[in-house]
Chain A
Amino acid sequence: MVYGILVAPFADMLTNPRFLAEVLIGGVAAGLMYSLVALGFVLIFKASGVFNFAQGVMVLFAALTLVGLMERGVPVALALLLTVAVMVALAIVIERLVLRPLVNQEHIVLFMATIGLTFFLEGFGEMLWGSNVKKLDVGIPDRSFIVAGIQMNQLELSAAGTAAVLVAILAVLFHGTRIGRALRAVADDHEAALSIGIPLKTIWIIVWSVAGIVAIVAGIMWGAKSGVQFSLSLIALKSLPVLILGGFTSVAGAIGGGLIIGVGEKLAEVYWGPLVGGAIENWFAYMLALVFLLFRPQGLFGEKIIERV
């Protein structure tokens, strides 16, 4: 047993490096998907201190809207624009109906409100666009090719590229623009930001809109990979441990945490899973986060301040 846990998996890795590389690439690909969801979450948390449980379902909702529009014969570019419009409208509605009445409430209350939002959007999206699995095809090629004997997938590469571009854009947005400065000010201290004339409501709408647009990107990637279906919102729960690993306020942390979780759970599943009957992917991420919480609660890249008793 000890041999099986401590020695055999590593021996496997060493004797078959090509397979190891494929597992790693699969993990990176899955991790990037988690990261994209976590990214939207970090944005909202940074600017408004809301733990947005609904980010996962926003991804689903965005993908559903896009697919639904395209199924009705709307060309891709127009459908994308319309989806962006829908997500911005959603941001405005959420700000008006959920956030504004709950301003100054405890974090935990806002968190529970976003759980309510999750269920509402899930029912709403399913009612609007139907509940069957849909294929999303926005023209990203899904061909596999072989580099140095390792199988790679073009879709996964484009996802990685998109994530990188997205992070770059967000970094510029946060650190190089007026709006970004306002966002950071609001994140630091609501009242101080208000008192120097930063319009809180507008900032919230902007942030939720940006999170919505990030959700569209994540939705496109996921939809292209595994089809648009309602189990996506469950996979999105995986972004929660990603956040704990990466820290709630760090964009880099969302990406790093996603990669660690993605690679870690694939490795665990492939090499250690068979020892205990498999399917440990379901909980491995959470357990990793749990262990992490005990030793480094602020995450890898998070700020040191953490609420604890």
Chain B
Amino acid sequence: MIYREAGQFKTSYASDQAIFPIAQDRWVVVLAVLAAFLVPPLVANEYWLQAILIPFLIYSLAALGLNLLTGYAGQLSLGTGGFMAVGAYAAFKLTTAFPGVNILIVFLIAGIVAAAVGLLFGIPSLRIKGFYLAVATLAAQFFLVWLFNKVAWFSNYASSGTITAPPRTVFGVMVTGPGATASARYVTALALVAVFALAAKNLVRGRVGRSWMAIRDRDIAAEIIGVRPLRTKLLAFGISSFYCGVAGAELVFLYLGSAETLAFDVGLSFLVLFMVIIGGLGSILGSFLGAAFIVLVPIFLTRVPRSVGLDLPVALQKQIELMVFGALIIFFLIVEPNGLARLWQITKEKLRLWPFPH
């Protein structure tokens, strides 16, 4: 009863193809985005912003990037951490070399640099796929992290080898560096994610996204109907790496503040892959759900046992976390390959018929 499409008639092709064709969806999303911009900066405390919401937004962006490549174009990548590192180090080099440039533009250029590197490592995908590609992207992961670790130029010859986000402002508000408030960093991350998510949604609905899905589902048939596989796959690598690069830059500038290459090791690649699988392969919403899930599970594991008087040692929490992630991956692959996003869809379908079962 609450969720009805009855009476909502579409009179044009455009309205039928809208992102949210049902009014309820549209309003929920608009209100949710508005609320996301307004409520947390006013209500949430430092801990919530810093430990939950900001990492959630950044991981969402990275998951979005990997989902474009793995979920939509069907190319498995284990090199996400490496591409994020490219974005982070590119942003650092750019903003220290040109301090006057707006930090948002720096993020975008860092994303473009990451896209270029992604294209380079995507070239093997022209001849190989699936598991072979996983190894090729692992090569990217280990090589890039080693490169940033060894070549001191990338960290401006810092003796510690870490890169630190310098203070930068957007429209007069400090958004990076130690002086920036959590709210300012949160809003910056949110604005970027909102824009990129909308762009991704439109991308996958359009010609590019449909050609990705065609390649993913049946590559030879796609080639026969005129999708050029080489161009399509490379484009997927480029755009995916762009998203990951921006996410990597944000990770250092808006979340960690300073980082060394250890922050971008192969574990990060797996974490983002888990977000994509649990959230839903081939779903924009799923990238957000998966990121939220992965960010919340460790917090859940610390909070819940403590609230019932059980104090788990940190090591045990870490182990349970690994087991939960592993088991969930298998569970979702078996039971619901479309992840949390599909569960949300099922909920909507049930609401449409509620209170009647059929």
**A interface residues with partner B (beta carbon < 8 Å):** 51, 97-98, 101-102, 105, 107-109, 111-113, 115-124, 126-127, 131, 234, 237, 240-241, 244, 276-280, 282-283, 286-287, 289-290, 293-294, 297, 306-309
Contacts of A308 in B (CB 8 A): 127-129
Distance (whole angstroms) from the CB of A70 to the closest CB of chain B: 22
Which of B139, B273, B334 lies in contact with A101, CB distance below 8 A?
Answer: B334
The answer, yes or no, to whether B330 is at the interface (CB within 8 Å) is yes
A307-B229 Cα distance, complex, nearest whole Å: 14
Q: With contacts A116-B330, A293-B124 known, is A123 near B135, CB below 8 A?
A: no
Distance (whole angstroms) from the CB of B127 to the closest CB of chain A: 5
Assess the A119–B323 pair: CB atoms within 8 A: yes
Assess the A293–B127 pair: CB atoms within 8 A: yes
Assess the B128–A122 pair: CB atoms within 8 A: no
Assess the A294–B127 pair: CB atoms within 8 A: yes
A210-B281 Cα distance, complex, nearest whole Å: 33
Of the A-B pairs whose beta carbons lie under 8 Å apart in the complex, a sample of 14, sorted by A's number, is A111-B76, A111-B130, A116-B330, A119-B329, A120-B326, A120-B327, A127-B323, A240-B135, A283-B146, A293-B128, A294-B124, A297-B128, A309-B215, A309-B223
A22-B319 Cα distance, complex, nearest whole Å: 40
The 6 closest A-B pairs by CB, nearest first: A116-B329, A120-B326, A123-B322, A119-B326, A286-B139, A123-B323
The answer, yes or no, to whether B315 is at the interface (CB within 8 Å) is yes
Contacts of B131 in A (CB 8 A): 51, 107-108, 111
Extra A-B contacts (14), CB below 8 Å, given A120-B323, A127-B320:
A51-B130, A107-B131, A112-B76, A119-B323, A119-B325, A120-B327, A122-B326, A124-B323, A241-B135, A283-B139, A286-B135, A290-B139, A293-B128, A309-B229
A127-B319 Cα distance, complex, nearest whole Å: 6
Contacts of B138 in A (CB 8 A): 237, 240, 286
Q: Give the residue name and chain of the A residue nearest to B134 (CB).
A: A111
Assess the B326–A131 pair: CB atoms within 8 A: no
Assess the A116–B327 pair: CB atoms within 8 A: yes
A3-B285 Cα distance, complex, nearest whole Å: 55
Contacts of B319 in A (CB 8 A): 123-124, 126-127, 131
Contacts of B328 in A (CB 8 A): 116
Contacts of A244 in B (CB 8 A): 132, 135
A277-B161 Cα distance, complex, nearest whole Å: 14
Q: Name B's interface SS.
A: helix
The answer, yes or no, to whether B143 is at the interface (CB within 8 Å) is yes
A293-B273 Cα distance, complex, nearest whole Å: 23
Q: Give the residue name and chain of the B residue nearest to A277 (CB).
A: B150
The answer, yes or no, to whether B142 is at the interface (CB within 8 Å) is yes
A98-B333 Cα distance, complex, nearest whole Å: 9
The answer, yes or no, to whether B321 is at the interface (CB within 8 Å) is yes
Assess the A97–B330 pair: CB atoms within 8 A: yes
Which of A116, A127, A286, A297 lies in contact with B142, CB distance below 8 A?
Answer: A286
The answer, yes or no, to whether B260 is at the interface (CB within 8 Å) is no
Contacts of B315 in A (CB 8 A): 126, 131
Q: With contacts A120-B323, A122-B326, A241-B135 known, is A127 near B316, CB below 8 A?
A: yes
> Interface size for chain B: under 10, 10 to 19, 20 to 34, or 35 or more residues?
35 or more
Interface centre among A113, A234, A297 (most CB of B within 10 A): A113
Distance (whole angstroms) from the CB of A145 to the closest CB of chain B: 35
Contacts of B316 in A (CB 8 A): 127
Assess the A123–B128 pair: CB atoms within 8 A: no
Interface centre among A97, A105, A108, A124 (most CB of B within 10 A): A108
Assess the A123–B146 pair: CB atoms within 8 A: no
Q: Give the residue name and chain of the B residue nearest to A125 (CB).
A: B319
The B301-330 residues at the A interface (CB cut-off 8 A) are 315-316, 318-330
Q: Give the residue name and chain of the B residue nearest to A244 (CB).
A: B135
Interface centre among B136, B315, B328 (most CB of A within 10 A): B136
Which of A124, A282, A293 lies in contact with B136, CB distance below 8 A?
Answer: A293
Interface centre among B74, B130, B321 (most CB of A within 10 A): B130
Contacts of A126 in B (CB 8 A): 315, 319, 322
Assess the B135–A102 pair: CB atoms within 8 A: no
The answer, yes or no, to whether B257 is at the interface (CB within 8 Å) is no
Assess the B135–A112 pair: CB atoms within 8 A: no
Assess the B270–A109 pair: CB atoms within 8 A: no
Which of B143, B223, B327 lies in contact with A283, CB distance below 8 A?
Answer: B143
Distance (whole angstroms) from the CB of A147 to the closest CB of chain B: 35
Q: Give the residue name and chain of the B residue nearest to A124 (CB).
A: B323
Assess the B330–A120 pair: CB atoms within 8 A: yes
Contacts of B325 in A (CB 8 A): 116, 119-120, 123
Contacts of A113 in B (CB 8 A): 329-330, 333-334
Assess the A107–B142 pair: CB atoms within 8 A: no
Which of B129, B150, B223, B333 lies in contact with A112, CB distance below 8 A?
Answer: B333
Interface centre among A112, A287, A293 (most CB of B within 10 A): A112
